[in-house]
Amino acid sequence: MAETLLRVEGLRTYFYTWAGVVKAVDGVSLHVDKGETLGIVGESGSGKTVTALSIMRIVPAPGKIIEGKIEFQRKNLLAESEEEMRKLRGREIGYIFQDPTSTLDPVYTVGEQLSEVLVRHQNLDKKSAMDRAVELLRIVEIPDPEIRINQYPHQLSGGTKQRIAIARAICARRDYSGADP
């Protein structure tokens, strides 16, 4: 029997806007087993993104998670402290945005943005983090990673940016070996 990595039960996330309450997620339950990939399909505006954000608990205001249970690594994520959640985000749970153009900060280089995640989660110093970042670019198959590492988001194509977003999401994984071609 496959081990369940993530289980969501009865999730409700509402947005309290000036126009009234928007029930973005109203009773969603799902589970993802180890080795499984779960695809959630829906029209735009049906709450797919909000569900994902709710799991990570980064739903922007005026949204609030009203009720539900999210089981991950034998913890109820909705009961965890913010500090605990921060440890999970980026490391155990990653998120990649739909739109690559705006997912990177325009005033910092790609290398700076990747390495800051590494520094945060793996306690590396700047230099090692940068080296690792170059490795990561190579892994997501971006050509000339040494050059790209010092470039700014606006200099890169959408596809490249998306790969970098992927790299950023997976870079801090605890079980990440780093030598994987």
Partner 1 sequence: MLGGRRYGPAPSDSRWFWVRNSEPGVLCLVSLVKYVVRRSLYLIPVFLGITLLVFSIERLAGDPVQIATFGNTHITEEQRQKIRQYYGLDKPVYLQYLHWLSELLVLNLGDSFSGGSVSNLVGQGILATLELQLLGLFLSLVIAIPIGIYSAKRRYSVLDVTLSSSALVGTSIPISFMGIAFILIFGYYLNLFPSGGAQSTIQSQYLYGNVFLDQLWHLTLPTLVYTFAILAPIVLLVRSSMLEVLRQDYILAARASGLGDRAILYKHALRNALIPIVTYVGLYFGGLLAGAPVTETVFNWPGVGALFVVKTNVLDFPVIQGVVVLITLMTLVANLVTDLTYAYIDPRIRID
Could you list the residues that contact partner 1 (CB under 8 A)?
Answer: 53, 56, 58, 60-61, 86-91, 94-95, 97, 99, 102-108, 116-117, 120-121, 150-152, 154-155, 165, 168-169, 172
CA distances from 10 to 7, 28, 102, 153 (A): 10, 5, 31, 38
Q: CB 103 → partner 1: shortest distance, Å?
A: 5
Report the residue number, 25 or 104, with the smaller CB distance to partner 1.
104
Q: CB 101 → partner 1: shortest distance, Å?
A: 8
Q: CB 74 → partner 1: shortest distance, Å?
A: 20
Amino acid present at 1: M
Q: CB 152 → partner 1: shortest distance, Å?
A: 4
Distance CA 132, CA 74 (A): 31
CA distances from 119 to 87, 89, 112, 130, 151 (A): 13, 14, 10, 9, 19
Report the residue number, 66 or 97, with the smaller CB distance to partner 1.
97
Report the residue number, 35 or 106, with the smaller CB distance to partner 1.
106
Report the residue number, 2 or 129, with the smaller CB distance to partner 1.
129
Angle 173-175-181 from CA coordinates, rounded to 5°: 85
CA distances from 73 to 2, 5, 53 (A): 14, 7, 18
